[in-house]
Amino acid sequence: MSAAEPIQFDPDVVRADFPILNTVLHGDKRLVYFDNAATTQRPRQVIDALVNVYEHQYANVHRGIHWLSEQSTDLYEDARESVRRFIHARDCLEIVFTTGATAAINLVARSWGDRFMKAGDEILLTEMEHHSNIVPWQQLAERTGCLLRFAPISDDGRLLVDEFDRLLTPRTRLVAFTAISNVLGTINPTAELIAKAHDAGAIVLIDAAQSAPHQSLDVQQLDADFVAFSGHKMLGPSGVGILYGRERLLEEMPPFLGGGSMIRRVTLNGFEPADLPAKFEAGTPPIVPALGLAAAIKYLEGIGMQNIAQIERTLTARAHTVLNEIDGIRILGPSPSEKAGIVSFVVDGIHAHDIAQILDQYGIAIRAGHHCAMPLHKRLGVAASNRASFYFYNTEEEIDRLGEAIRGAKRIFRRN
């Protein structure tokens, strides 16, 4: 069923697809999995697809001319087509399989960055980036002498667009930002920022690690240049991610990793790179993870991305209500209407790790720490936070359990 045909959503039916959600821990606590921004769980359909490949269809791709290799090559290229359709890219040439969002961003920094950035050129980022969308650019700055600028955010975690505009100058060659903050849940005005960057003559990389799993993504409508995301955050296996790149840009870029598959011809004196997208897929690619990602996409399309976003909006609103009823909790980020299914918070006087440990005793899995966003935590004036992040298989009843568990933690620490 497509996203255009909303389904009557039954959480119990969906949850039955996810074996791990039946886990009972610490004696009698049914697992509440609220660490979906770190990685999601997999439905039976994805697990079966992986087993099926290994049992019946596995060989290396683009190498053998034997039957099994032809089977796996066809499936691998079909997986690329699934990704293309999912993000509405124009052509499969623009879909590069990587090992994850981090690898995809590094590919752009190394290949496009080393070729086109020079001393004095600027890259505009934001204060709410994940380390994966900061460090590769810092490394590029070390190599080339280019400069990094950071668009600031408000105290409630929204990008200050006026400041973004001010920092966008003729020196800006690249703008790179997250579509959804992995800490604040803030949904950035992606299309608007891309248009502004293009008007200023810059190209744009979207970190879609937290948006591709939760909202529909149309790279042509957005007019995006590069988009990076990971399979494991959208029901797929770990070890696979995607770099979408506009064909013209990918054509201009030199290969990043060298090795098998990325060449047309090699002599002892040099090599000629292969055509897109093989040029950027050196070595044996993540074959089975890519097929698992295709199965995940099929599952997501069955539910419909609009439905997923809608369910998560309900869960986020519920989480704000429940947490706001508890004294001494500071929720980071904007109001529920402006954020995705990520709710980070700080409990007065109780360290984030202690909260997470006590919640674990209640069977609730949340994240504690800086969530790979240390500069953002510094900006917010907190050393660490707790993060509850939802997916469509979570329920409002689970969020109520979160509230009870936090009250329990406060009783232990006598903070009520």
Least distance (Å) between residue 348 CB and ligand PMP: 26
Report CA dihedral (346, 350, 351, 353) to the nearest 10 degrees: -90
372 forms part of the interface with ligand PMP (CB under 6 A) = yes
Using CB under 6 A, which of the segments 2-10, 97-105, 265-273, 296-304 binds ligand PMP?
97-105
Residue in 36, 41, 111, 182 binding ligand PMP, rule: CB under 6 A: 182
Total length of the chain: 416
Closer by beta carbon to ligand PMP, 136 or else 277? 136
Q: Which two tokens stand for residue 302?
A: 């069955």
Largest CA distance in the chain: 73
H/E element holding 343?
A: strand 342-347
410 forms part of the interface with ligand PMP (CB under 6 A) = no
Least distance (Å) between residue 98 CB and ligand PMP: 9
Least distance (Å) between residue 129 CB and ligand PMP: 7
106 forms part of the interface with ligand PMP (CB under 6 A) = no
Q: How far apart are CA 315 and CA 313, in angstroms?
A: 5
132 forms part of the interface with ligand PMP (CB under 6 A) = yes
Q: Which two tokens stand for residue 41?
A: 């769980």
| Structure-token match 């840009």, residue found | 249
Report CA dihedral (221, 224, 228, 234) to the nearest 10 degrees: -10
40 forms part of the interface with ligand PMP (CB under 6 A) = no
Least distance (Å) between residue 193 CB and ligand PMP: 15
Q: Which two tokens stand for residue 144?
A: 């080339």
Using CB under 6 A, which of the segments 4-12, 95-103, 259-267, 351-359 binds ligand PMP?
95-103
The one catalytic residue in 32, 75, 294, 372 is 372
- Continuous H helices in 168-218: 190-199
Task: Confirm whether 146 is a catalytic residue.
Answer: no
Build a one-symbol-per-residue string for 186-225: x at contacts with ligand PMP by CB under 6 A, - elsewhere. ---------------------x-xx---------------
Name 268's Cβ contacts closer than 8 Å, sequence gap at least 6: none
Build a one-symbol-per-residue string for 134-173: x at contacts with ligand PMP by CB under 6 A, - elsewhere. ----------------------------------------
Q: In whole angstroms, how far apart are CA 209 and each of 108, 153, 229, 335?
A: 15, 20, 4, 21
* Residue 31 · residue 24 · CB < 8 Å: yes
Least distance (Å) between residue 209 CB and ligand PMP: 3
389 forms part of the interface with ligand PMP (CB under 6 A) = no
102 forms part of the interface with ligand PMP (CB under 6 A) = yes
Closer by beta carbon to ligand PMP, 182 or else 395? 182
Closer by beta carbon to ligand PMP, 227 or else 322? 227
Quote the strand ranges of 208-256, DSSP E.
226-230, 241-245
Residue in 84, 130, 370, 401 binding ligand PMP, rule: CB under 6 A: 130
Count CB atoms within 10 A of the CB of residue 301.
Answer: 16
Strand-strand pairing, 241-245 and 226-230: antiparallel
Q: How far apart are CA 237 and CA 224, in angstroms?
A: 25
Three-class SS of 280-299 = HCCCCCCHHHHHHHHHHHHH
178 forms part of the interface with ligand PMP (CB under 6 A) = yes
126 forms part of the interface with ligand PMP (CB under 6 A) = no
Closer by beta carbon to ligand PMP, 14 or else 373? 373
299 backbone dihedrals φ, ψ, rounded to 5° = -65, -45
Task: Give catalytic residue positions.
Answer: 372
Q: Which residues bind ligand PMP (CB under 6 A)?
A: 37, 100-102, 130, 132-133, 178, 182, 207, 209-210, 230, 372
